[in-house]
Chains A and B, each alone.
Chain A
Amino acid sequence: MRNDNIYKPCLMRIEKVTDEAPDVKTFRLKFIDDVQARNFDFKAGQFGEYSVMGEGESTFCIASPPTRKGYIECTFRKTGRVTSALANKEEGEIIGFRGPYGNRFPIEEWKGKNLLFVAGGIALPPMRCVIWNCLDLREDYKDITIVYGAKTVDDLIYKNELEEWNERPDVTLVTTVDPGGETPAWKGQIGFVPTILEKMELKAENTIAVVCGPPIMIKFTFPVLVKAEFKEADIFTTLENRMKCGFGKCGRCNVGSVYVCKDGPVFTYAQLKKLPAEY
């Protein structure tokens, strides 16, 4: 009997729920099935389909690094039907997971280079995966700089980790909030991510840039990096088109002939420039 049901999710137990920001939560998930747990492997940048039975599936990246074994984490904002149902789940409850899908960040190719991570708002999760992946293999990389911005101080996610990165001598962390989003106690920058980036002394040589954020942030960040003489092939980002299946069949995530679920979600700026504006 044929039994490989590609639509069948693995069952995962919610080990830990972290409230990150208003309506934003992180789940730590563990496979219930030992065999599935043993066989599971993924790379930084890949994504999955997370589901609540009776509500449906939702697509987000795996936010924990593949270097941390035995669990995966996902971070999501409560917006649609599925994420609202997920947000109501508590520790100990079970959700569905299919994946990993998609391509990945080629971090092996980045060995010996400086890394510049630029993220905005709720787009930090895909980058958190690759940041921790690189930090766990710290000796492989040279300078690591993280620039992260959100609308308000409240909207910054992974606050504990931001603190940890801030304290690490081998990481340069710049955090910023949009003008008006600061609190009296705020010690970081004030301003939009591209503006903050422009003020920094960016060195493009031997540096890989990874940019994840809302479309408007990405749009204004690329020119700053290009002006700082980053090569287009050295600037990475992720696309977030709507998906259902995750493996090139349901037909909705394509940008021209490129399928975000199979050829992405990770693209270089050089690749993006060749794509039609359909994302």
Chain B
Amino acid sequence: MDRVKQKARDLLDSNKVQVVIGYEEGTDGTARPVFIMDSKNIDKLIFNDRCYHNLAVYLTKVEVEKIGRVAVEASLNTLKGIVKLASEGQFVFEDIDILGVNRNGELYEFASLDEVIDYIDQHPVEYSPEEISLLRKIESMTREERWEYWQEEFSRCIRCYACRAACPNCYCDACIVDINQPQWISPTPDALGNLEWHIIRAMHLAGRCVNCGACAKACPVDIPLNILNLKLAEEISKNFGISEEFLLTNYPLAIYDPNDKENFIK
């Protein structure tokens, strides 16, 4: 961590960046995002297993853009978010300074986007046993059981949009649920509205989600939204035979190839 802090300090002191986004101790034993603009506060920075927030989410926020150039303390998930956002043209990769951290909080420096992608590729996504077992449990349900399961889960939704807010890939200025001409999705927190919202959101992230799980962790009523995304990620790689590396910088649902096996596209 010392090298991470030192580099962060240098970047701030030399005014190469105006803010370092990282993690600090929260008030309740959890870690939380922190914005450091003065290097005298650099010792607040931490990194450990509790640092699960995907900090890439902040890189597209107007409030952050206003501060100036940003350095990010980037975990593997944050790195994936950054690469995805850069590939979707949300910012230029070189406009961001990355303080990569591995599991032990050791500094990783990257000279280029390709190096980040290589690094991500060497560290394939590891789903937790809980995630996998829930996914398999849901897969083994009958259609009716699955329907009931998700209806029950979605019934708790209060439409706070914490899932959207915590997701680095939900960066649309005008989210489909906020558009009312036409009103594509009902904004009401009822069975239909909630179902529409979560299905649409999952579909919008299919092939784009970096499976960081930030949505599910942000959900105040514990809806396992990450399982939806996980399932769709599996479907995408199964149906399109696509590697995670490819997914990071491409959006398979938007790519047309005359050799696609589906006939409907021809």
Contact = CB atoms under 8 A, between A and B. Distances in A.
A80 interface: yes
Interface in B157-208: 180-181, 183
Nearest to B179: A81
Nearest to A79: B181
6 contacts: A80-B180, A80-B181, A81-B180, A81-B181, A81-B183, A84-B181
Contacts of B181: 80-81, 84
Interface residues of B, number: 3
Contacts of A80: 180-181
Interface of A: 80-81, 84
A244 to B, nearest CB: 13
Contacts of B183: 81
- Nearest 3 pairs of A and B residues by beta carbon: A81-B180, A81-B181, A84-B181
A242 to B, nearest CB: 14
A80 B183 CA distance: 12
Contacts of A81: 180-181, 183
A84 B180 CA distance: 11
A161 to B, nearest CB: 31
A173 to B, nearest CB: 37
Contacts of B180: 80-81
A187 to B, nearest CB: 39
Nearest to B182: A81
Contacts of A84: 181
A50 B173 CA distance: 28
A80 B181 CA distance: 8
B14 to A, nearest CB: 35
Interface string B77-96: 00000000000000000000
A10 B180 CA distance: 25
A161 B107 CA distance: 73
A131 to B, nearest CB: 33
A40 to B, nearest CB: 30
Nearest to B183: A81
A85 to B, nearest CB: 10
B181 to A, nearest CB: 5
A130 to B, nearest CB: 32
Nearest to A84: B181
A84 B183 CA distance: 13
Interface in B2-32: none
A80 B180 CA distance: 8
A220 to B, nearest CB: 26
A139 B181 CA distance: 48
A42 to B, nearest CB: 29
Interface in B130-144: none
Nearest to B180: A81
Interface string B93-127: 00000000000000000000000000000000000
